[in-house]
Structure 1
Amino acid sequence: MVRDPLAGDDAPDLDAVLGALYDEDCRAIIRELDEPRTASELTERCDIPRSTLYRKLDTLTEASLLAEGTEIRDDGSHAGRYEIDFREVIVACDDEREFDIEIERPARRADERLAELWSEVREEL
């Protein structure tokens, strides 16, 4: 098992991950993300009101279950694009009876790793 490589020393928040997975709308969104999709596409596919959908996308992103990218369009407008950012979520109980969560991530292509690094650099500026 690979520990969450994006989390550094901070493991994903157990309550945030479990809360997102418990939420019916969040699970509906995950089911529809067989490929990266925009919020507009997800609104149509999930039959969730747009304002609710954005809150659920934030919940899933904060729980580190979704990755948000940018879809650049020919007309110059841009849209957020969401995709699943996990292969497995494992909840375990350690010897002290404390719960721990691990998220196994899909392998990243070189261009995806570069885009993530660039995004982090822009946030620092």
Structure 2
Amino acid sequence: MTEQTQQSQAKDETGCVIDEDNQIEEVLAALKNERCRKIMRETDQETLSADELSERCEIPLSTVYRVVQRLVEVGVLEKRVRLSSYPQYTHEYALVAETVRIDIGGESVLSLSVSRQSEISGGSEQPNQQLSAD
């Protein structure tokens, strides 16, 4: 990891650094995907269920489930529980990524950092997460 990445990671208490090639490719592929971007735009201001996302984005529900799972796995969305009448509940999704930054180290080492919004799950901050190859 570069010194600059370490410094930015120290400043950002709610982010994660990814430096494995396959994980970087997953994040970039998600950001490139039009359906992923539609879902990210819709969940930027409010949390939405898969049904609501399907309707607003005009994407089939089965596709919405695949896309939100992918975005949750790469750390862009957060999956939450929306309580309704007991014992039923619905999952809803919220955009938690604020910025994505790519750093290129001195030895052509590539790392990607995802900065998360500071207010997640009712204002609690998420600790730094680092995904790296050993």
- TM above 0.5, yes or no, is yes
Structure ranking higher in strand proportion: 2
Alignment match of 2:35 (pick from 25, 28, 31): 25
**Match of 1:32, as an amino acid?**
E
Cα distance in 2 for partners of 1:17, 1:86 equals 11
**Match of 1:11, as an amino acid?**
I
| TM-score for both structures, normalised by structure 1 | 0.78
Correspondence for 1:89? 100
- Higher RCO, Cα 8 Å, sep 6+: 2
Cα distance in 1 for partners of 2:15, 2:88 equals 29
- 2:88 is the counterpart of 1:65: no
Cα distance in 1 for partners of 2:68, 2:50 equals 8
Contact 1:4–1:102 at 8 Å: present in 2 too?
no
User: Residues 2-81 of structure 1 correspond to what in structure 2 (within 5 A)?
Assistant: 2-3=11-12, 5=14, 7=16, 11=18, 13-33=23-43, 34-81=45-92
| TM-score for both structures, normalised by structure 2 | 0.73
Spell out, residue by residue over 1:75-118, the C-alpha distance to the aligned partner (whole angstroms, 9 max, x if none): 5311111001111000121111121101111113685549x8xx
Structure 1 runs not aligned, ≥5 long:
117-125
User: CA offset at residue 74 of structure 1?
Assistant: 2.2
Q: RMSD across aligned C-alpha pairs, in angstroms?
A: 2.4
Structure 2 runs not aligned, ≥5 long:
1-7, 127-134
Structure ranking higher in helix proportion: 1
Cα distance in 1 for partners of 2:13, 2:114 equals 5
Spell out, residue by residue over 1:40-69, the C-alpha distance to the aligned partner (whole angstroms, 9 max, x if none): 110100000011110001111111100000
- SS of 2:46's partner is coil
After superposing the two structures, state which structure 1 stretch, 47-56 or 69-78, moved more.
69-78
Contact 2:79–2:91 at 8 Å: present in 1 too?
yes
Distance 1:59 1:68, change over 3 A: same
**Match of 1:60, as an amino acid?**
L
State how many pairs are aligned. Answer: 113
